[in-house]
Amino acid sequence: MAANIEIRFIPYGKMDTILPLAFELNNGKISLDLLGKRLKAMLAMGGYQCIGAYDAEELVGICGIWELNKLYVGKHLEPDNVFVKKAYRSSGVGQMMLDFLLAYAKDINCDGTEVNCYVSNLKGQKFWERQGYQPLAYHYFMNFESTGNE
């Protein structure tokens, strides 16, 4: 199935095409409307791109990319919201997107890449570890809505 897949950057003007897959990635817990608002804000910040895996013109996988520079790691890319439709999983689509990302990172002279993976996503953790990623730290998050902090 992966033989027919093409990996390419999604133009900013078509970035809303990722929303149905982002909705599925989040198990419907975040509304499409809110995802759309967040995406618009992300694009306004700059430094965010997204690659898509296409079967003909059907978007079957996404991988957001943040271009960042941090003191402890230098210039790097961070894959974000990596998702492949269920029918295309275990067919090499995720690997194709990662290969594209790594080649791009090297082309723009990054020092490396860094990824966050949900602690509940054991398959995802195994995928990243097979790719050579190693756990470095815990990623903590405080949601103001759920903690009562203002």
Which helix (H) or strand (E) element contains residue 64?
A: strand 58-70
pLDDT band (50, 70, 90) for residue 1: low
- Residue 150 contacts by C-beta under 8 Å, 6 or more apart in sequence? 144
Q: Is 92 helix (H, G, I), strand (E, B) or coil?
A: coil
Q: Look at residue 86 and tell me whether its pLDDT is greater than 60.
A: yes
pLDDT value of position 127: 87
Q: What is the DSSP letter of 4?
A: G
* CATH numbers and ranges of domains, the chain: 2-147 (3.40.630.30)
CA 21 to mean position of chain CA atoms:
11
pTM of the model as a whole? 0.86
Q: Look at residue 74 and tell me whether its pLDDT is greater than 50.
A: yes
In tens, the pLDDT along 33-45 reads 999 999 999 999 9
